[in-house]
Structure 1
Amino acid sequence: MAVLLAAVLLAGCARSVAGTAETEQWSPTRAAGLEITSGQSGPRPGVPDTGLTAVNGDGGEIDRLALNAVEDVQRYWAQELPATFGVPFAPVRRLFSYDSTGPGPVVCGTDTTGLVNAFYCPAEDTVAWDRGELLPTLADTFGTMSVVAVLAHEFGHAVQFRLGVGGSTSSIVREQQADCYTGAFFRWLAEGNGPHYRLATGPGLNQVLGTLFFIRDSTEVGFDTDGAHGNAFDRVSAFQFGFGDGSGRCARIDETEVRGRITQQSAAAVVPGDDGNLPVDDPDALAALLSTLRAAFGPNTAPIVGTTVADCPEGGRTAPVSYCPATGTLGLDLAGLAAIGTARSDGGDGIGDFAAFAEIASRYALAVQQAAGLPLRGVAAAGRTACLTGFWAGTITAGRGAPLALSPGDLDEAVAEMLAPESLIAADVDGRSIPSGFARVQAFREGFAAADPAACADLFR
């Protein structure tokens, strides 16, 4: 985050964000309308492998996972493309597997030696993947559904080609559409339609969102850079649009829509080597943070702030920051917050400054809810908390004149925190978080897009 020399925002500031999806009434047991399930995700047991083959494949486990994923993805689009767009779906002409760790063949004019990637080539109607490093790394880190996610994304580009979306379309629009189409396909999987793969909407979706986080653009890539794919927040948003609203929503993503809601900076704004991280325990940074919170929610909701996490007679003790309803006190463990705020790139084991600041904002949001007479316990309270934290984040976007402003990578840090096993950003006063990482991020995003904090109380009840 960056501290700016500017005046504090007016209380209760309103804004609008173009291109956001319409949302149904929230349910604590659902993710985009589907029941949150904690069952198995991955290959269906006892199902024969597909008969598809890949040029240059080695017949190994990774190619087997990839080809079964291709079979499911093409099965989906064979139904979806004619049903939604009135266009028949022809299977891609060629599937190609290569090993980036050895001498690579040339695919679509590209030498694959050292090419840790998966891609779609329109000129040859080919989907290619690296079985040597990319897919094994993702499978080991996030599980087999990450392999499916990568292949589904590349087939999103094949769908674009079949719908006439050409090279004149900017890369960020093409990538946002492909992430959205990936979400639409995973909705189909979650509904139990996949011949080879099954998806639980709890941990299974977390694997997929974790994959998108892993393959996000770095903070030194602008959304208008050729080849830009998007930061984690924008990629997850596009995926959620498709998962919640279907492939028709994806086709409506265009330059105007993307520029109206994208949070990734432009190439002109990139400052090489500047990660924007502030020391979380710095008094000036904390003072700026608290002023933005008062500006977002009004001075009458402000809690008393202390630098210790004290016992609370009615519960409400969480680490490293807590809110005690009985005393109206926000307690900060500065050492614990600094540990979260010091990212690994800066020599720490944490996530980054915004993750720590957002955890403070989440406990502050409990004081806002208490002032409005809302309950502070339960999953609805956790949803409101994530939503209000997202609303606050939306009030400090760059250029709004806040004393503390979002810097590149900040919203990705929030995504990382919310995809952790437990998330304070999306937790009630006792630290009980929404069970689904997908639902946590969705709640935060709803607040980020809201014009008024009252929208969070309307949605999460």
Structure 2
Amino acid sequence: MGATLGDRRRATVTALAVAAMTLVAVSLTGCSFLSGGSSDGGPDITELTQPDTSPPPVTPIRGGTGTPSDRLAADVVHDVEAYWHLRFPPEFGRRWIPLHAFHAVDPAKPNLPPECTRRPIDMNKQALYCPAMDVIIWDRLGLVPELRAKYGNGGVLLALAHEVGHAVQERIGIDVGTQIRERSRYPPILLEAMADCFAGVVVRASVNGELAHVRIEEKDLDRALSALLSFRDPVGFELGPNAHGDAFDRASAFLDGYQNGASRCAAMTAQNQLFTQRGFTTVQELLQSGNLPLDELLASMVPDTQAWFTALVSSRGRRWAAPPLRPDSGCSSSSAARQGPVRFCPDSGTLSASPATLGSVHSRGDYATGTLVASRYALAALAALGKPVRGPDAGRAAVCLAGAYTRSLLDRNTSGFGLSPGDVDEAVDELLNQDYAARDATGTPPADQGFQRVGAFREGTLGGAAKCGI
């Protein structure tokens, strides 16, 4: 979070800092899409508009010893390919071309074609689609067991479905040659977003019971989405040939596929997608990891938030001035306290914050705090507009409006309060893991899951306040 955009004078980040960030990026990017070569054979251009009812392919899996993690990975990739075998024809008017092979590898001795791996260690805790050989490869000893232990079966499904998503790209014509010829149309971060989107399509099919072996329930989606977000790019990582996206970019693409289907994924372009990933622009941002101390954040953000929500209410034909945010005063009812560290008191129309409890939120990043502040000002604005501030719809509207406010900060190119790299990630993390921002004026915890809260925030970020029902 930056105090003012005007203070963000462009500075040269030291070569040492850039090198350090690059090393971190290489170790944490996770899923990969290697360039070079082309897949065996092109898509069958025979027009098909109905599901393919022929038996699904059973693409061979090379490697593995039959451990529980090996069996889970095998079930996942066979289920995912069977899904595309069935659904690819009506979606894209072509038959699904079976993958050449799946490889479950030990990173110490992958024994893979040189077209797919440069060094054995490159596969450590990684999965990738290799277009040169048309194969999916994964680390069977590190990646799959770790995902399964931390995130459940849904984490493994999402990670491997992402890689098959790159194979889907090849089969709809976005092959390596197309990517090279149309680099500006298909930058790397867009290709990763499309694969995340196609993974969302498959995860929805699993939730709906459409996969033969791997079934996850909606209540498991927060853990699954956390697995995907664990592969986000490091904070401050520049957009470039290795960019995969920040937490918002990846969650947004996944939700697009989950909610809207495969045709939406295929229609993604660099022009119709919002990517929030940003690189550090000053040495100070780099040294602070883009975060301000709590008192500096509130001193800078609160006046800006007041002004934005006052203007929003005025644009809807109401006269109102957003109240100040006061520490532990004027809003002490039990229902207000249940809202969390930042509260809106509907009886008095005031806002208050508890610095003692807000500190634990702020330790997760300054815009985790900022998201709570924006959501409580959103409730105050809803009240000023005569909208309900109690009930689940009020909580969703508050989160959506916090997203709309965040978009205004992303779009800002003049002096004033602004965002730093990592801020939108902090908002996503807060919404995925905590429900304070979605609580209504009574402090009632919402029934929505984290991924649904992220979805509401995304609606406001992409569509503005009009998407929030006001």
TM-score class normalised by the smaller sequence: 0.7 to 0.9
Residue 296 of structure 1 aligns with which residue? 308
Long gaps (5+) in structure 2: 8-56, 181-185, 312-319
Aligned CA distance change for structure 1 residues 59 and 110 (closer, same or farther; 3 Å): farther
Residue 202 of structure 2 aligns with which residue? 185
Residue 287 of structure 1 aligns with which residue? 299
Question: 2:236–2:422: 8 Å Cα contact kept in structure 1?
Answer: no
Aligned CA distance change for structure 1 residues 314 and 375 (closer, same or farther; 3 Å): farther
Aligned CA distance change for structure 1 residues 151 and 384 (closer, same or farther; 3 Å): same
Question: 1:98–1:112: 8 Å Cα contact kept in structure 2?
Answer: no
Q: For the residues of structure 1 that align with 2:466 and 2:442, how far apart are their CA atoms?
A: 23
CA offset digits 1:362-400 (Å, max 9, x no partner): 112111111111221211011001011111111112643
Aligned residue among 297, 305, 308 for 2:328: 308
Q: Using structure 1 for the length normalisation, give the TM-score.
A: 0.81
Q: For the residues of structure 2 that align with 1:72 and 1:185, how far apart are their CA atoms?
A: 9
Q: For the residues of structure 2 that align with 1:330 and 1:293, how far apart are their CA atoms?
A: 12
Query: 2:256 corresponds to which letter in structure 1?
Result: F
Question: 1:323–1:366: 8 Å Cα contact kept in structure 2?
Answer: yes
| Of 428-437 and 243-252, the range deviating more from structure 2 | 428-437
Residue 33 of structure 2 aligns with which residue? none
Q: For the residues of structure 2 that align with 1:410 and 1:199, how far apart are their CA atoms?
A: 30
Residue 73 of structure 1 aligns with which residue? 80
Residue 352 of structure 2 aligns with which residue? 331
Matching of residues 100-115 of structure 1 within 5 Å: 100=107, 102-107=108-113, 108-113=116-121, 115=124
- Which structure has more helix as a fraction of its residues? 2
Matching of residues 180-259 of structure 1 within 5 Å: 180-201=197-218, 203-223=219-239, 225-258=240-273
Partner of 1:384: helix, strand, or coil? Answer: helix
CA offset digits 1:125-172 (Å, max 9, x no partner): 110001111222222111111001011000001111112212323211
Residue 454 (structure 1) shift: 4.5
Query: 2:125 corresponds to which letter in structure 1?
Result: V
Q: For the residues of structure 2 that align with 1:395 and 1:272, how far apart are their CA atoms?
A: 23
Aligned residue among 344, 351, 372 for 1:359: 372
Residue 423 of structure 2 aligns with which residue? 410
Query: 2:347 corresponds to which letter in structure 1?
Result: A
Aligned CA distance change for structure 1 residues 302 and 399 (closer, same or farther; 3 Å): closer
Partner of 1:412: helix, strand, or coil? Answer: helix
Partner of 2:242: helix, strand, or coil? Answer: coil
Matched, 1:136 2:145: yes
CA offset digits 1:278-337 (Å, max 9, x no partner): 01123xx31321122122211624124221166644722232111111122211112322
Q: For the residues of structure 1 that align with 2:280 and 2:331, how far apart are their CA atoms?
A: 48
RMSD: 2.3
Aligned CA distance change for structure 1 residues 51 and 286 (closer, same or farther; 3 Å): same
CA offset digits 1:181-228 (Å, max 9, x no partner): 111112222222111122322x222122111211111123222x1121
Number of equivalent positions = 399
Aligned CA distance change for structure 1 residues 269 and 398 (closer, same or farther; 3 Å): farther
Aligned CA distance change for structure 1 residues 229 and 177 (closer, same or farther; 3 Å): same
Relative contact order (alpha carbons < 8 A, sep ≥ 6): 1 or 2 greater? 1
Q: For the residues of structure 2 that align with 1:445 and 1:109, how far apart are their CA atoms?
A: 36
Aligned CA distance change for structure 1 residues 279 and 119 (closer, same or farther; 3 Å): same
Aligned CA distance change for structure 1 residues 81 and 229 (closer, same or farther; 3 Å): same
Partner of 1:298: helix, strand, or coil? Answer: helix
CA offset digits 1:44-102 (Å, max 9, x no partner): xxxxxx976521212111111111011111111012211111111122111101123x3
Question: 2:60–2:102: 8 Å Cα contact kept in structure 1?
Answer: yes
Residue 419 (structure 1) shift: 1.2
Query: 1:279 corresponds to which letter in structure 2?
Result: P
Question: 1:105–1:111: 8 Å Cα contact kept in structure 2?
Answer: no
Query: 1:401 corresponds to which letter in structure 2?
Result: T
Residue 161 of structure 2 aligns with which residue? 152
Question: 2:309–2:377: 8 Å Cα contact kept in structure 1?
Answer: no
Long gaps (5+) in structure 1: 8-49, 343-350
Partner of 2:98: helix, strand, or coil? Answer: coil
Matched, 1:123 2:132: yes
Aligned CA distance change for structure 1 residues 454 and 267 (closer, same or farther; 3 Å): closer
Partner of 1:113: helix, strand, or coil? Answer: helix
Q: For the residues of structure 2 that align with 1:147 and 1:130, how far apart are their CA atoms?
A: 12
Q: For the residues of structure 2 that align with 1:191 and 1:241, how far apart are their CA atoms?
A: 16
Q: For the residues of structure 1 that align with 2:414 and 2:300, how far apart are their CA atoms?
A: 12
Matched, 1:166 2:182: no
Aligned residue among 297, 304, 319 for 2:340: 319
Q: For the residues of structure 2 that align with 1:338 and 1:313, how far apart are their CA atoms?
A: 21
Question: 1:426–1:434: 8 Å Cα contact kept in structure 2?
Answer: no
Aligned CA distance change for structure 1 residues 183 and 390 (closer, same or farther; 3 Å): same
Query: Identical aligned pairs, as a percentage?
Result: 35
Residue 268 (structure 1) shift: 7.6
Structure number, greater radius of gyration: 2
Partner of 2:97: helix, strand, or coil? Answer: coil
Q: Using structure 2 for the length normalisation, give the TM-score.
A: 0.80
Partner of 1:375: helix, strand, or coil? Answer: coil
Partner of 1:293: helix, strand, or coil? Answer: helix
Residue 269 (structure 1) shift: 8.3
Query: 1:428 corresponds to which letter in structure 2?
Result: D
Aligned CA distance change for structure 1 residues 412 and 313 (closer, same or farther; 3 Å): closer
Partner of 2:132: helix, strand, or coil? Answer: helix
